[in-house]
Amino acid sequence: MMTIDRIPGEGKYARPERERRWLLSLVPPQAVYSAEITDHYITGTTLRLRKISSDATTTWKLTQKVRRRIEDPEYVNTTTIYLNGEEFRLIAQFEAKVLRKTRHRFAHEGHSFAIDVFDGRHVGLVLAELEIDVDEDVPLPPVAAAKDVTHDDRYSGASLATASDRQLRQLIARSPA
């Protein structure tokens, strides 16, 4: 039997994307509630199991995000599989760090920003995120007081999920006034 070693984040199903992040002090007043999100960052992997609950629907996804360059969190290749509830429950049994947030959407300069308000031990953290095409120009942040944290790996989802309480307090204290 022949085995084929595949490179994570490569292949016909991987989608290149560019992720930008800004640290905010609050949710812009024009933002609209979108969903409750629970992320499970599966220990020892590049996999994220996500449950998205909105008013009438629940969506479950298994996603792999692989950086195109290990030192640059802005450019990633993403592969996503949609799951049913039973598949989600089975995979959720793996050891993982959990991150919960309420997502809002904010239209600004022709883009739809995700504004995430974190729960649990991450309370006080508000991040704006934008996924754009790899070659697209970066728009202005959704609010004037935003602090660009795109290249600060401490604000990536996996890093936030695994951060210590002390590290989180320091990150939250850095929120713009």
Contact (Cβ atoms closer than 8 angstroms) between residue 63 and residue 140: no
Can you tell me which residue has the tokens 């002090």? 25
Is residue 128 within 8 Å of residue 24, measured between CB atoms?
yes
Instruction: Give the rounded distance of the alpha carbon of 62 from its chain centre.
Output: 13
**Structural domain for 87, as ranges:** 15-173
In angstroms, the CA 23 to CA 155 distance is 9
Amino acid letter, residue 112: S
pTM: 0.90
In sign, the C-alpha dihedral spanning 145, 129, 161, 54 is positive
**pLDDT, one tens digit for every residue, the chain (177 residues):** 666 666 677 777 778 889 999 999 999 999 999 999 999 999 999 999 999 999 889 999 999 999 888 888 899 999 999 999 999 999 999 999 999 999 999 999 889 999 999 999 999 999 999 998 888 888 888 787 789 999 999 999 999 999 999 999 999 888 886
3-state secondary structure of 46: coil
Residue 76 forms beta bridges with which residues? 17, 67
Query: Does the residue 30 lie in any domain?
Result: yes
In this structure, is residue 146 part of a structural domain? yes
Q: How many domains does the chain have?
A: 1
Residue 80 sits in a domain of what CATH number?
A: 2.40.320.10
Q: Does residue 134 belong to any structural domain of this protein?
A: yes
In a domain, 25, yes or no: yes
